[in-house]
Amino acid sequence: MTDVPWSRDLPTVGLASVMGIEILELTCERVTATMPVDDRTRQPFGILHGGASMALAETVASIGATACIDRERFIAVGQEINGNHIRSKTDGVVTAVATPLHVGGRSHVWSIRITDEQENLICVARCTIAVVPKKA
């Protein structure tokens, strides 16, 4: 593993910051993050938006892949994501745990489980990350 290029708070910029995502753990083997279920992440019917769950899933997978590559030469970008929404959630916090299924030179595949405070499964996702050369 290469050194992680940020503190646990720095990945929460852009969309992650707007959604309140907080990184708790970051290694090549595991990424853990939380996200509030509130007005930023709920859909109009008052439950956690599936798109918010997918954004959380891709965030942890992308950050995990970035921790595993040579960042001087490559970047890690989301290529494909799919998810199954198992249970609804109206408030509180969800936690995403991402673990790699495959770490290759050109792509990574990460498995992501999103749970509630009682560890009930809210969503399960799989995300493919492309590892591409940095442009000069």
Q: Are 59 and 16 in contact (CB under 8 A)?
A: yes
Catalytic residue status for 58: yes
DSSP characters for the chain? Answer: -PPPSS-TTTT--THHHHHT-EEEEE-SS-EEEEEEESTTTB-TTSSB-HHHHHHHHHHHHHHHHHHHS-TTTEEEEEEEEEEEE-S---SEEEEEEEEEEEE-SSEEEEEEEEE-TT--EEEEEEEEEEEEEPP-
Q: Which of 25, 29, 58, 80 is catalytic?
A: 58
Among all residues, which ones are annotated catalytic? Answer: 58
